[in-house]
Chains A and B, each alone.
Chain A
Amino acid sequence: MIISRKRFLQVTGVSLLVAAGEKLMGAFSGVVPSEAPAPALTARRWAMVVDLPKCYRKEGCIKCIEACHAAHNVPKFIDHALEVKWIWKDSFENVFPSQENHYLAATFKDKPALAFCNHCDNPPCVRVCPTQATWKREDGIVMMDWHRCIGCRYCMAACPYGSRSFNWTNPRSNIAKLDPDFPTRTKGVVEKCTFCEERLGKGKLPACVEACPEKAMAFGDLDDSHSQVRELLGSRYSIRRKPELGTQPEIFYLV
């Protein structure tokens, strides 16, 4: 079917009028959405504080990991090579190689520490991405555009924390329970933790923070001196992963 320009404008014009009219009618008839959305959580600089001793209380607990991976349709692959993970546990020594200490207190030695994207202030992954498919938001969240990513994996080579995963094959068939509220990814793109920006927009805290039974994770604004994260950082000793690289990770660990 061939549509002339005039006819196209007529049809689209009428459609727009109808759509606008419907909205107008809705406004006059006093219909309000049944559930008013909660105001979005905003910050000048988002950051997270993980209280390691608290995290260690429940041995083998993976509630945060399960919550995150369920909320974001993260596929599960048995094959280690194909693994996709946004948040995971690795040994303290592997997560904090800069803290190398043969006589580390038993409280930490051989204990698994949580690892995820550090949402660096100075992210090497953003610097190297050739298409700006990964970028840093004003509030510090390092984001991903899964529709722009060309799958070159340069960001994975650049990330000093191994925080990025690649979809080596179609992930959709390996998602245990599909959450229709979050997009699935296609094969051939990189993904990682996004600080649950979709939840923040709905006024909710990140899924991992909410799921932790020990309340071992705090999330808040680093620029607000009265925020919980700032209070924790001001009162307890904290460490970060590979601080010597100058990436300025925004995930802090209390020890």
Chain B
Amino acid sequence: MFMFEKALVGGRRYWIWILCLLAVIGLGFLAYLRQLSYGLAITGMSRDVTWGIYIAQFTFMVGVAASAVMVVLPYYLHNYKAFGKVTILGEFLAISAVTMCMLFIFVDMGQPTRVFNVLLYPTPSSLMFWDMISLAGYLLLNAVIALVTLSAERKEIAPPTWIKPVILLSIPWAVSIHTVTAFLYSGLPGRSFWLSAILAPRFLASAFAAGPALLILLCMLIRKLTRYDVGREAIQKLALIVTYAMITNVFLLLTEVFTTFYSRLPEHMAHFQYLFVGLNGHAALVPWMWTSAILALASLALLIVPGTRNSHRILPLTCGIVFLSLWIDKGLALIVGGFIPSPLGAVTEYAPTLPEISITLAIWAIGFLMVTVFYKITLSVREGFAS
């Protein structure tokens, strides 16, 4: 396959990492086989909480995928040269994240063998149909862009001119994937937690904080493990993007909280109450939510103060905090919280089961495996280039 041979050369440390990932994937695959034969009863989901960690993780990863636009846009649209070494890493991260999204949707399906019914009976009234189109399109766009630009680089020639409009198309497309994903939830009349026009902007803001935070962590890790350095300026610019996105995200969340609690609409308040103080004696997510809130505030302090933002010893910690805070908020609570209480006022709690966690970890491992292989190929091309 295309430049794949470069991923098959690596040291001892590289192969141990790959084998660990494969082991996690193998375990998850076994769990999935059990889920396939026994049914989704193997998960923590229920008649009241019909979507759990799979769909929550899907939602979170769409954000990570969309965030590639935060490096693509400055580099290609504004010709911001400092992102020259990081852009392709962002694109490959997007490809891996979209693949994870598709896998999370797939493992959530009750009848996975019928997945192509979505294509056999295309239904434009369903947002899921549009989500499928936008995700598949985004995957294709990024795959084409990354491969074409990288192979041009390997041949030491300029990329073909036709790729430029494709790249420009990928910018609004990135925004579209997360907007459509938010519309999946925000247009449902009976789910007041999601029934908010601000959901899509909130999704984008949290995505543009979590995604670049992850990218910074990956870049710093690569710098530590290899000779490849994306450059201090690129990392600082990314950190600034995380800062603004995180401020916007917290601001949007607070506007949601204001509307909900000043209007005192009981149906809208109930979900926030469940998440932050508990409802009818049920409070499983309360510690998680406060962790997320405190981490969000802490990260804001660390990001806004220039001294801590510019310190490359503190920045990885800050990025980890941002990522964890948003992962709890979006990758867990946002979806589950929408189902609690149920439309009939029932408070049924949700906690993922061991097989469910194992399947989720396996999909994450697949994502990491893809990122590892892609970055390995990229770095081989570029290091060879340098020498």
Contacts and interface: CB of A to CB of B under 8 A. Distances in A.
Interface in A49-91: 80-84, 90
A120 to B, nearest CB: 10
A81 B342 CA distance: 13
B50 interface: yes
Contacts of B50: 153, 156-157, 166
B345 interface: yes
A127 B47 contact: no
A158 interface: yes
Nearest to B38: A169
A188 B115 CA distance: 12
B346 interface: yes
B16 interface: no
A80 B47 contact: yes
Contacts of A165: 47
A124 B188 contact: yes
B46 A81 contact: yes
Interface centre among B45, B46, B117, B266 (most CB of A within 10 A): B117
A150 B115 contact: yes
Interface residues of B, number: 45
A239 interface: no
Given A162-B344, A169-B41, A189 B111 contact: yes
Contact of B110 (A124, A189, A242, A247): A189
B128 A83 contact: no
A255 B125 CA distance: 36
A168 B344 contact: no
A131 B342 contact: no
Contacts of B121: 131-132, 148
B41 A150 contact: no
B267 to A, nearest CB: 7
B111 A158 contact: no
A128 B344 contact: no
Interface in B22-75: 38-41, 45-48, 50-51
B283 to A, nearest CB: 19
B309 interface: no
A161 B343 contact: yes
A26 interface: no
B330 interface: no
B190 A151 contact: no
Nearest to A126: B125
* 6 closest Cβ pairs, A-B complex: A151-B110, A160-B190, A188-B110, A81-B46, A168-B41, A169-B39
Interface of A: 80-84, 90, 93-95, 97, 100, 115, 124, 126-133, 148-154, 156-162, 165-170, 186-190, 242, 245-247
30 contacts: A82-B41, A82-B46, A84-B47, A90-B344, A100-B266, A124-B188, A130-B118, A130-B129, A131-B123, A132-B123, A148-B117, A149-B111, A150-B111, A150-B115, A151-B114, A154-B126, A154-B184, A157-B338, A158-B189, A159-B343, A160-B190, A166-B50, A168-B40, A169-B38, A187-B40, A187-B110, A188-B39, A188-B109, A188-B111, A245-B189
